[in-house]
Chains A and B, each alone.
Chain A
Amino acid sequence: MKKKTLVTFQPYVWLLPSVILMVSMILIPIISVFKISFSDVGRSGVVKGLNGIQNYLDVFAEPTFWHTLQNTIIWTVVVVGVSTVFGFVLAMVLNQEFRGRKFVRAVVIFPWATALIIQSVIWKYIINADYGSLNVFLKKIGLIDAFVNWTKTAGSMFAWECWVGIFVTFPFVTFCVLSGLQSIDTALYESASVDGASFWQKLFKITLPLVAPSLTVSTVLNIIYVFNSFPIVWTISKGAPADQTHTLVTYLYKLSFTDGKGGHAAAVSVIGFVILAVCASIYMILSLRGEEES
């Protein structure tokens, strides 16, 4: 009887450290953020009591919030979308036999493996109009006569930030897809060729269905990373000019640590949480439905 009890509880004992870690590092902070979002928080961080949904009403009344939300959607869709397409194409190329393939594969991983903050600072200097290396290079090869201000408008600033996002994200997609491609049996392609299938038919009927699990994993993880990405936007623009290049994460950071509005920051955090929860639910429903159908 004693032995049976031990066997029954043993898995839970092994799980306990992980559970404690998740509760203390994830669950309690989440509950805390929810509570703060319904609280009146002083500029110095003092919680003065509950204030209902006032923080949410204040946030919704702020035009900057809606612009930031729009930016966040554009940022996530563009960075994840372009990275996925570009990463997929590159994976197809790197899956071919050619001289120097190992070297190219090693080089491609660099943008992803380097710390985001370093990438962001480097790109900030590259595109600087007064001393940036992009202008110097273009002038040296004669493409421009005078230095160009690449970030003159909020739109151009945000476009550059999206580019940096894509630059640091696509290698992850490439390697996820590459691992999927390498697991496909070449006999499938040989049979399809014998049957007269074109490149596009092989792509849509063989390659895509078989790398779909890898693509799904990379897309979902990238949505999380990119939606929550902080260093790129904060390092390059800090949301400037006039808060027009913020994403939700940089906006809530500014609200909390620059403006001293902890309650508003928590409300924005909860809103972002809800958006990701909705995305996750849709993904789960589609994924489980797909499994049932198959």
Chain B
Amino acid sequence: MKKKILSVLLAAAMVASLAVGCGKSGGGGESSDGDGVKLDVIISQYGNYTQDWWTEFEKTFEEANKDIDLNIEIVSWNDIYSVVNTRISSNEQPDILNISGFADYVADDLLMPAEDYVSSELKDNFIPSFWESNDMDGTVWALPILASCRSLFCNMDLLNEAGITNPPATWDEVLAACKAVKDKFGADIVPWGLDISTDEGQAAFSYYTWNFGGGFVDDKGDWALNSKENVEAVEYIKTLIDSGYCNSAPFTDTRYPLQDAFSAGTLAMMIGPMNMVAADSTVNYVAADLPGEKTALGVCDQLMVFKDDEAGDARTEAITKFFDAFYECETYSDYMVYEGFLPATQDASDNLAANAENYKVGGSDATGSSDYFKTFCAVLPNCKFYPMQKAEWMDVRNGVIDVEQQVCNGTMGAQEALDQLQETVAK
């Protein structure tokens, strides 16, 4: 009998164990009460001190707007998509969300047009390329919160020692520089940092395809994933790996350990964000244009407003006040220096190009550098962005990573893999 009970218990445990973790929580939320308006805001965590800045902002904002109760939640990038999706599925979406990408929310009819919440002055203040990057079928659904751009980082001490005097300007020069570094340092130094992991493999795809003359879309904005330039670019990535020039685990290495390796002086070259080198690094580096077409990837995250059918004009007014307060030149400039990103508004760009020293970097006594902002803010309008406003973007994002991994792993040729992806996306 004992054995029978044990059997039943074990069997029941076996059956129940798999599906349990996949449920979704229920609940509901409201954004306003009778006395005032409550705004739920989810902000992505950009650094170790993001929470501190927003706590201060919340305090200042609530003092200036007694009828608005701001509830700001900081969520890490690792969790934010699952947190937001879980909240949406339980009808507890925030009023304002800071995330990267909005097309899925538009497709599911969850967003309000962000352009309805900004004054004409604020609208005119956004750098046009940023404002337009959030335009989907003639409606601007999100506001650019901040931006960064990617450059080619070269450890000049290592390159000079290997006989290379300038950062490589063409893809052939990249191969030559890698060979020189490998010949000089052997296994002690990795010549080229490559991340084609599920974390940011789509960024690698854009670096190489754009700078081989291809890209995600053609001139008409239609998907053009299997262009001959893209095939050439993906084959080039495979050449880098097969030649032994890259970090040994490009399928799983994210850019963070690569950035650490670059900052520590054990990686000679990599493409990365402008603030990637650690503050305490002693590496003598240059941030150069990307080889080939010299097209940099611009990354721009957004703020968006979720629908709330029960809310009235008070909510609209409160959200407008929130945006006005956040994008106010002094406040916004302070946040940009604090987090080390580039502003999406014209007045903050001008301000930081001259006065960045007036603002503190998050978690330290260091101040911003006007030269830094002057240099990178000038580059930003020429950056290309992911085609996030297209509904198929997430499929394409995951698809190009899969293509890179399949081709570089040798399971499929570049042309075949890209043809398959193009066919899937065009369906």
Contacts and interface: CB of A to CB of B under 8 A. Distances in A.
Do chains A and B stick together as partners?
Answer: yes
B104 A240 contact: no
Contacts of A15: none
Tell me the interface secondary structure of chain B in the complex.
Answer: helix
Contact of B198 (A147, A153, A258, A277): A258
A45 interface: yes
Contacts of A242: 251, 402, 405-406, 409, 411
Interface in B12-42: 12-24
* Chain A interface residue bracket vs B: 35 or more
B15 A153 contact: no
Contacts of B23: 28-30, 32-33
Contact of A224 (B14, B104, B247): B14
B348 to A, nearest CB: 30
Given A43-B104, A44-B108, A47-B89, A243 B402 contact: yes
B139 interface: no
B252 A240 contact: yes
Interface in A243-266: 243-244, 249, 252, 254, 256-260, 262, 265-266
B8 A26 contact: no
Contacts of B13: 221, 224
A149 B190 CA distance: 13
Contact of B405 (A236, A240, A258, A283): A240
A87 B272 CA distance: 47
A266 B8 CA distance: 26
Given A217-B10, A288-B7, A238 B198 contact: yes
Interface in B198-227: 198
A121 to B, nearest CB: 12
A270 B22 CA distance: 10
A287 interface: yes
A287 B3 CA distance: 8
User: Which of the listed residues B8, B24, B84, B247 has the most CB atoms from chain A within 10 Å of its own CB?
Assistant: B24
A240 B411 CA distance: 13
Contact of A44 (B4, B11, B20, B104): B104
A25 interface: yes
A276 B17 CA distance: 9
A132 B247 CA distance: 12
B259 interface: no
Tell me the interface secondary structure of chain A in the complex.
Answer: helix
B125 interface: no
A152 B244 CA distance: 12
Contacts of B82: 256-257
B398 interface: yes
Contacts of B314: none
A254 B402 CA distance: 13
Interface in B74-94: 81-82, 84-86, 88-89
A96 to B, nearest CB: 29
Given A29-B20, A44-B88, A260 B394 contact: yes
Contacts of A25: 20
Given A43-B394, A242-B405, A260-B394, A273 B15 contact: yes
B159 interface: no
Contacts of A288: 4, 7
Contact of B108 (A43, A236, A266, A284): A43
A18 to B, nearest CB: 13
B198 to A, nearest CB: 5
B110 interface: yes
Contacts of B105: 44
A283 B197 contact: no
B408 interface: yes
Given A26-B16, A269-B19, A279-B14, A237 B187 contact: no
A146 B19 CA distance: 46
B17 A46 contact: no
A26 to B, nearest CB: 5
User: Which of the listed residues A32, A45, A269 has the most CB atoms from chain B within 10 Å of its own CB?
Assistant: A45
B6 interface: yes
A217 B251 CA distance: 38
Given A256-B22, A257-B82, 5 more contacts: A29-B24, A149-B248, A153-B409, A238-B252, A280-B14
6 pairs of A and B residues whose beta carbons are closest in the complex: A29-B23, A129-B248, A45-B85, A45-B89, A43-B104, A242-B405
